[in-house]
Each structure stands twice: as structure tokens, then as C-alpha cells.
A and B are shown apart, each in its own frame.
Chain A
Amino acid sequence: MKAPENKPLIQIQELNVEYRSARGAVRAVENVSFELFPNEVFGLAGESGCGKTTVANAITRLLKPPAFITGGRIMFRDIDILRMSQEELRAFRWDQLSIVFQSAMNALNPVLTIGNQIIDAMQAHQSISYEQARGHAKQLLRAVGIDVQRVDSYPHQLSGGMRQRAVIAIALALNPELIIMDEPTTALDVVVQKQILQEIKSLRDQFGFSILFITHDLSLLVEISDRIGIMYAGKFVEAGPSQEIFSDPKHPYTDRLMNSFPTVHGPRRELLGIPGAPPDLIEPPAGCRFHPRCELAIEGECDRIIPPLIRIGGARDVACHLVNEAEAVT
């Protein structure tokens, strides 16, 4: 685990994003703040529609209308990404940041060999000869566990897992400081998934980049991340070191989420699940957004007052009235 002693690479401060629809504004991300440190894997977890991908798209400035960033700052070291000009942004993407999407393996160009796709990315951003770039492309393929002979293969000649590795190789081409991975292994089988996750983690150890890792699969996220943030209905409900959250979840939503999926490890246990469904974000519930599904909700408090995200000792943050009262550091 990386102790957050050094300066953060990315600092998200009070980010607000809304999607404007005919029915009204969908408040997809509300007052989200978190930090990502160099060489750290930070995991964002939550169900569909909780805003995790919207956060990623805000960082990469890929949000397009009807999505609007209505507040907040995203600092990359000392620069606000949200204030970058198109030219600055172009340099920032790839050079410092790259992205691996869920179905990225289908985003490869079918008429170019994977080697040429890596070379393209390098030549577009660096002055490098074709031969040099090709040599580097081979190194990258080797690093992600693809046979170097495959440099001249077309995407259709590779399996899904191999294509996803190729995409990771492209993401690494310019040696970025931050890689955003949005469900990078969701479309893959568990065996392939584990191989790729191991690859990602050892590449991180080798190259020292940071990863913002997004997935709905909590056990996978806990496994790969140093710290995680749990999102519910557009807000952070809990954040902290992944092992601590896993062994001792504080927020009732996190607790129930941990209790929603069966496992093959350890004895068979009864699962509680979470009653109800996530709220409509056009008119989110007043107070804590989770209160309608929470068994522990306090009437008159949880349904009225928005619980702030509060540091509760160590490196853990929780947004819950129950926890805040019991454990807030005063």
C-alpha cells in the first residue's frame, strides 16, 4: 500500500456534473472529492448509474452535452484540467493520461496491425523514427504478455484477451503518468481476467504510473486497488484503504454491497442483499441519498440532512450520520 505522504497526482475537488434532459437536470455527480497519488491504484466502485464513469469522463474532459460540469476543479499536479485549452488538452491526453475502456478490444482498428496502431500513437506525439517506434512497440507487446511475433497480426487474429492486452500496450505507449481503466476486464472470462490484472499490477510496479480503476465488481476492485471510493447515486459514501473497507465497512451501503455477492472463498454464508433500487437522480431523495433503502436510517435526520464526507481516523472517510456521530474525530 502506498502511504499518501507525497503530493497527489490528481486532485478532484467538489466536482459536480449534471446531464440536462427534458425532464430536468440529472445530478449524476455531486460534490465528489478525492485524490490519486503517484504509483497508486485507486478504485471507484458502485452500481450502474452511480456516476463512476462520469467522473472518469470528467477527468479526461470527454464529457459532451447534455453533460455539463457545473462546479469543482480537477487538478493535475498544479494545473486545472477543466481550464486547459484544446492544445494543452491534446498534449495532456496520451502524454500524461491514457484510457482503457471496457470494450476497448473492439475499438482497435480492424485494418491496421496491432504493431502499427501502437506506432501510430507514438509517432503522433513524439518525433521518433518508424524503426525506433517498431522496436518500442515490440517491447510493449512483450511487457503485456503478447508474443512479439504478433506485432504484425491484425486484431481479428487475436483472442479477446489478447486484444485487450494490445489496448493496454497502446495505453502504455507514451509512458503516461495516469491510466484510467473503466471496466477493463468485464467482458473477459475469469481466467483471462486474472492474467490481465496480474499484468496490469506488475506493469504498474515496473513503470510507476497511477491507475484509476473503475468496476462494479467489488471483490476484484478490493483485490487490485490500494484505496477505493464507494459511490452511490452520484456521491461518495465511503473511501479509504481497500483492505480496511473490505474487512470493516462503515457505511450501511458498503456493508450491504459487501453482503450482496456470493463468494467461493471461505464458508458459505447467507447474503442479505439490498432492498429496493437506486433512486432517480432528477429528484434524488432529500438528506442521505441512500436513506430510502437503509434499515438504520434515523427519521428526521437521514431523510433531511445531507451527511458530509468526514475523516474518521486513519485514512478513512465516511458520509453517514450514524458513523459520523459515533466515530468523528473531534
Chain B
Amino acid sequence: MNRGNNGKQPILEARNLSKEFHTGGAFSGGTVKAVQGASFKLHRGHVVALVGESGSGKSTIVRMLARLYEPTGGDILYEGENVLEERGRRALLDYRSKVQMVFQDPFSSLNPVHRASHAVQRPLKIYAKTRGRQDLRRKLIELFELVSLTPAEEFVEKYPHQLSGGQRQRIAIARALAAEPEVILADEPVSMLDVSIRLGILNLMAELREKQGIGFLYVTHDLASARYFSDEILVMYAGFIVEQATSEELISNPKHPYTQMLLAAVPDPSRGLKTEDTDVQGEIPDLTDLGSGCPFAPRCKHVMDACHEAMPEPSPLEDGRWVRCYLYEEGAPVV
């Protein structure tokens, strides 16, 4: 689904976002470049998937957007305003009510000593979304019904341990919705759930985007669910966004050699596992000693001299997609 957002102002935008972490002691310490120069736009009612392996930096981007980490460099724009320049608790609170988060593990993201109602009531109170106890109760029931936890009157009284993983994740989504957000950052929201439950959560989020126009940044390691749920996919490798395209384009016609490897690694039951396949090789690099070149170069079949020199800039391709790879620079040999 491409909704023709050209020209419209994005609701959330990352510009050249970077994050470095320092590790170890004062003398032995190293620097982990977790995210480097990440830029992308998220529009209302649009779903952008951020796909990559563990350690690729996708969760770090989400945490910067959630204002849990302070970026080392770059800007975050909300409706065109630079949120990193706004100071003070009020501004942060406003931003956080508009940009909510759903975490991966619904078993640890809910407080076990409180009933389900507690988790959802807190944002209603903190962001002052209701007036009086009756209004609070009405809103609470509404939210539980919205995420299909019915009968809501029963579910609000339950403790997390009485609920299944899928039900807990629905509560986490209700909690995010309570703040009346424009954007939900969903960090691997279905990866801990059973197959038959996953689809229900993905469909619930699809419905929220459809009916309420919420924009989703969907973080996942699973290309298949990204294809199912998102309009656009960003592929991350070792801190860089290496490719951006609409979901169908990316899946049917991957350009970056890493995207091609990632797709080749997804189990294909119709084909069966071939031990002689050699399209999946190597390991992700150590982020503490990345050189200046493309981090994928040591594993890449098409590696050239330039790849070891510097990370290529994004090369625009047809249909507004782009890729960071020398193979697609102007004048590069056609592959």
C-alpha cells in the first residue's frame, strides 16, 4: 500500500541519527557505533518496518525516538519541530504522549503485582486524558474493548499471570493507546508469541493504523511479518540503514547484497533445505572495531576496493527507493 505521501509533512522524522556507546574503563574502553547516519520518515497511518539481526542497531533507533537514549548526533523531528532542542519536562511529556512504545516481552513489561487496569490507567492519569472516576472507568473499558479483551469488565480485574502472552501484549497496546498517540514504536511486539497468536496482534495493529491513522515503526527481525504488516521496509546492518523500499519491492527485488542474504536465509518449506547452498555466509562484525568502509564488505560476494575505503552514500533508485551500495552508484558495473 503506497499512500502517496509525497509532499506531505511526515509525523516523525529521523535525520542523520547516530548513537555511540562507550564500553569498558577509562583506559581500556572502546566505542560501539550502534547507529550511524540513520535517516527516514514516518507518515500518519503509515507502517515502516525496521528489519535487521540482533545488534544491528534497530532497538537503539527506537530508544532514541522514544527519548530513552540521547542521540550522539542528528535530529529527531516531530511534525517538523526538532524535539531534541525542546527542553523541559513538559515538552518531553507532550512528546511521549504522542510517541508511545510497545515492548517485546509482555511478560516483563507489565507489573506483576498490579491488575491489568493499573497499566492502562496510569497513562490516562499521567497525560490527563480523563475527568473524574467515572470517565476514567469508561475510557478504561473502551480501551480494553478496542484491543478485543472482552468482556472488558472481567479483564481489567485480572493480574498479568492470569493472562496469556497474546492477552498481555494486547494490554501493552491498550496502554500505549491510552495516551492517544500519533505514533507507536513497536519493538518486536510479536516475536515472543505463538504463531497462531501473532497474526491476531499484527491484525490489531493494522486495524489501529487503518481506523485511527496511527503511524507505526515496526521493529522486527522477521522479514515475512514486515512484508505482511508494513508499507515500507528499512534494512539495517551493523548500525547502518542499508536499503529502503516499499515492502513488496524489497521482498520481490532486493538490491543490497545483505538484503539478498537475509532473504535467502528465511526458511522456504516449498524448496527444502539444501546443504550445498552458499548464499548465507559469515558473521556480523564486532561493532567496536568497524573500519571506515562498508561493514558488510567482508561477507559480500561483490566486494570491490572502494567498499573498504568508505561507506557509500544512499543511491536513489526508481520508485523512491534507495540503497547504500557501490554496485548501484552511477557508473557502477551493472550486476
Contacts and interface: CB of A to CB of B under 8 A. Distances in A.
Interface of A: 47-48, 159-162, 189-195, 197-198, 201-202, 205, 216-220, 222-224, 242-243, 246-247, 256-257, 260-266, 268, 271, 273-274, 277
A218 B225 CA distance: 15
A218 B196 contact: no
For the complex of A and B, the 10 pairs showing the least CB-CB separation, nearest first, are A222-B269, A262-B228, A273-B199, A189-B53, A194-B265, A274-B196, A220-B267, A262-B224, A47-B194, A190-B265
B223 interface: yes
Contacts of B263: 264
Interface string B268-279: 111111110100
Given A47-B194, A191-B53, A264-B227, A246 B199 contact: no
A260 B199 contact: yes
Contacts of A48: 194
Interface footprint category on B: 35 or more
Contact of A271 (B199, B265, B272, B283): B199
Contacts of B198: 260-261
A242 B200 CA distance: 26
Interface string B209-252: 00000000000011111011000000000000000000010010
A161 B283 contact: yes
B224 A257 contact: no
Contacts of B203: 273
Nearest to A259: B199
A194 B203 CA distance: 28
Nearest to A247: B270
Q: Indicate the member of B225, B248, B267, B271 with the most A CB atoms within 10 Å.
A: B267
Given A47-B197, A223-B267, A223-B269, 19 more contacts: A47-B195, A159-B283, A189-B53, A189-B54, A190-B222, A191-B53, A191-B265, A194-B265, A198-B274, A216-B195, A217-B267, A218-B195, A219-B268, A243-B269, A262-B227, A264-B251, A265-B271, A266-B270, A273-B200
Nearest to A256: B196
B262 interface: yes
Contacts of A264: 223-224, 227, 251, 263, 266
Contacts of A223: 267-269, 271-273
A47 B196 CA distance: 8
A193 B265 contact: yes
A69 B276 CA distance: 42
A191 B272 contact: no
Helix, strand, loop or mixed for chain A's interface?
helix
B261 interface: yes
A205 B274 CA distance: 12
B280 interface: yes
B57 interface: no
A191 B222 CA distance: 11
Contacts of B71: none
16 contacts: A161-B283, A189-B284, A190-B265, A191-B262, A191-B280, A222-B269, A223-B271, A223-B272, A243-B272, A257-B196, A262-B228, A264-B251, A265-B271, A268-B248, A273-B203, A277-B164
Contacts of B196: 47, 256-257, 260, 273-274
A98 B261 CA distance: 32
A220 B248 CA distance: 22
Contacts of A218: 195, 269
Contacts of A198: 273-275, 277, 280
B258 to A, nearest CB: 9
Contacts of B269: 218-220, 222-223, 242-243, 246
Given A223-B267, A260-B199, A271 B280 contact: no
B317 to A, nearest CB: 20
